[in-house]
Amino acid sequence: MEKEILYRFFDGLASTREQEKIKEWMEASGENRKEFLDESIFHNSVLLLGDVKKKRMTRRDRLFTLVTNLSKVAAIVLAVLAIQYVYKTQFWREEGPLAMQTIMVPAGQRVNLVLPDGTDVWLNARTTLRYPVNFSTKNREVWLDGEGYFDVTKNEKAPFMVATDRGVVEVTGTELNVEAYSFKKAFVTTLLSGRAKVIANDPEQFIVMEPDTKVKLEQGVFTVDSICDYNYYRWTEGLICFRKEPFESIMEELERYFGIRVEVKNEQVKSSFYTGKLRHSDGIDYALRVLQNDIPFHYRRDEENQIIYIL
């Protein structure tokens, strides 16, 4: 494990993905868990004993530094105990280590599954979902990179949390859509029923949602809108729906769904808009032919490099 990631975790600066990476690494072996605790001891000794170059010190040097500063050993012990507590609460459940399941949806596909608590989930194309084989009695946390539609089983004692790179959505029982692709800037949560709280990476920045609203978090700023078209969420039925959508945005959606690059060379079509529905199962060539009925353009496929040129 890279030391820089560990030190960011000890300083409380690690991202959600980095925390997951540390968790997986520690679950891999007892030796990794021991290294984690050793590094946490050293990290806290550095904070308490002064400025020491972490990367250059040998284990013997670390021990010498600690012994020659006995007046601060008690404080170090307290810090170590605190790290051990964080380790146990962050990465272990009451029953032992947290076993995780990972679902990865390829381009052009969607997946429906039921989580251990009975929550029904739809996952859109190019989405990854990680969830525990058994949820904790205190919370139900899953990690999402992509888009998911969640019909959450109600349990007020164990909140359901969808964690992403940009923030967390917390509910007890509700129906919502979360879009949080790591390659896109926006983090969008749409609440169809119940109540939800959207929390930014800064825990003090959050917003409580009402039904039939959509919250977008971009560059640390929340924006709230009412849902004006529910057709968009019919992707769970295999439909890609657009309502007065710019041509370039449509191409971005097709890239996401079908895992192919689209380059728009025709400047005139960039000012075009489209309203209609396309089917996942029909493929990108059929989708482009449907679009050609309303928007005049030609296209060429580069099969070797998986690029479509709009001409």
Predicted local confidence at residue 109, as pLDDT = 83
Torsional class of 283: left (φ above 0), alpha (ψ -120 to 50), beta (otherwise): left
CA 89 to chain centre: 21
Q: What is the pTM of this model?
A: 0.66
Is the distance from CB of 254 to CB of 284 less than 8 angstroms?
A: yes
Predicted local confidence at residue 14, as pLDDT = 64
Pairing outcome for strands 96-97 and 92-93: antiparallel
Element of type H or E holding 175: strand 175-180
Dihedral sign, Cα of residue 5, residue 9, residue 15, residue 21: positive
How far lies 230's CA from each of 179, 184, 207, 235, in Å? 15, 22, 22, 10
Instruction: Give me the average pLDDT of each 10-residue run along the chain (311 residues).
Output: 72 66 74 70 52 44 47 44 43 54 86 92 92 86 94 92 91 93 86 91 85 88 88 89 90 86 90 89 90 92 88 91
Between CA 297 and CA 266 the distance in angstroms is: 8
Between CA 194 and CA 171 the distance in angstroms is: 8
Predicted local confidence at residue 211, as pLDDT = 92
Q: Where are the beta strands (DSSP E) in 70-139?
A: 92-93, 96-97, 100-104, 111-114, 120-123, 128-132
Between CA 233 and CA 150 the distance in angstroms is: 11
Predicted local confidence at residue 51, as pLDDT = 42
Predicted local confidence at residue 134, as pLDDT = 85
Between CA 61 and CA 49 the distance in angstroms is: 13
